[in-house]
């Protein structure tokens, strides 16, 4: 079995955001729950607080799908038609071909810190579409596993991290990916602005906590893009949470 995470970065027509949310937590969540190896699906919205404010945020929404698959080459494409239902119904705004679907083979499941309250849901996640310097992957992995993942998840509000590498098999539409490495960090906080600021301060050695991070490993490429998202739906919404009351017939294959 292999852990695979697929991220769906996308926008939704402004007048149809509520409809998209109802689709995701209704017929879509039910449909993906039948996929082989399915473990969960969560949906997030971009936040005002960002660690690198100068980096563009081209996507308002992020959906994260987790699987434990017997054969990723066979199973990864099965998600494509289920997301295409929203695209075919006009629920995805692909102006400028912004929609992105990337699948990553994960190195492990969540690696948590003492901050993690496992009886409570995540309030959000951040993603880094990252890269390592050619020929230095082993060094990059060692730095992340032994040093940086510990530093990051010990920042107040950050609670867990998992990482993966882009798979050979991808969900259509296949488009340019800026990061062959995925760094997915989870938060549990009601003050993300503080978490982001303290993270930045620790990295620069000026946190009021007195904690300073180790210098960034030069095995990690600066060709990376970072995005913070807050949770807007998730597995606790289905079943027994939000009930879909719309007309399922508007979604191809849903009756």
- pLDDT mean over 49-63: 94
Question: For residue 252, what pLDDT is reported?
Answer: 36
> Tokens standing for 184?
């997915």
Q: What is the tens place of the pLDDT at every residue in 212-239?
A: 999 999 999 999 999 999 999 754 433 3
Measure the CA–CA gap between 184 and 194, rounded to whole angstroms: 19
Largest CA distance in the chain: 58
Question: For residue 249, what pLDDT is reported?
Answer: 38
Q: Which of the following CATH numbers is that of domain 2-249: 1.10.3720.10, 3.30.70.100, 3.40.50.300, 3.40.640.10? A: 3.30.70.100
Q: What is the tens place of the pLDDT at every residue in 236-254?
A: 433 323 333 333 333 333 3
Of all residues in the chain, the percent with pLDDT exceeding 70 is 91
Helices (H) and strands (E) in the chain, counts: 7, 9
Q: Residue 201's closest CA among 217, 192, 190, 212? A: 212
> Tokens standing for 86?
């929203």
Q: What is the pTM of this model?
A: 0.90
**How is the chain split into domains, by residue range?**
2-249
- pLDDT mean over 169-189: 96
Mean pLDDT estimate for the chain: 91
Of all residues in the chain, the percent with pLDDT exceeding 90 is 89
Q: What is the tens place of the pLDDT at every residue in 106-134?
A: 999 999 999 999 999 999 999 999 999 99
Question: For residue 234, what pLDDT is reported?
Answer: 55
Measure the CA–CA gap between 200 and 217, rounded to whole angstroms: 16
Q: What is the tens place of the pLDDT at every residue in 84-107?
A: 999 999 999 999 999 999 999 999
């Amino acid at each position: 079995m292999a852990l695979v995470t697929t991220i769906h970065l996308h926008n939704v027509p402004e007048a149809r955001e509520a409809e998209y949310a109802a689709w995701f937590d209704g017929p879509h969540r039910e449909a993906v729950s039948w996929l082989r190896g399915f473990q969960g699906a969560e949906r997030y919205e971009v936040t005002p607080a960002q660690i690198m404010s100068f980096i563009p945020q081209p996507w308002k929404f992020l959906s994260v799908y987790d699987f434990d698959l017997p054969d990723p080459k066979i199973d990864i494409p099965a998600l494509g038609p289920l997301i295409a239902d929203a695209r075919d119904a006009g629920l995805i705004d692909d102006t400028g071909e912004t929609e992105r679907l990337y699948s990553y083979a994960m190195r492990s499941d969540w690696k948590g810190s003492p901050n993690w309250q496992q009886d409570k849901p995540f309030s959000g996640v951040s993603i880094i579409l990252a890269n390592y310097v050619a020929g230095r992957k082993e060094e990059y992995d060692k730095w992340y596993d032994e040093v940086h993942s510990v530093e990051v998840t010990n920042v107040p509000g950050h609670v867990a991290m998992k990482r993966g590498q882009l798979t050979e098999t991808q969900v259509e539409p296949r488009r340019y990916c800026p990061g062959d490495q995925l760094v997915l960090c989870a938060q549990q906080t009601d003050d993300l602005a503080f978490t982001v600021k303290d993270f930045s301060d620790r990295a620069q050695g000026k946190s009021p906590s007195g904690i300073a991070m180790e210098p960034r490993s030069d095995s990690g490429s600066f060709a990376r893009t970072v995005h913070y998202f807050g949770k807007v739906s998730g597995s606790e919404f289905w079943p027994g949470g939000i009930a879909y009351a719309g007309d399922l017939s508007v979604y191809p294959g849903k009756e």
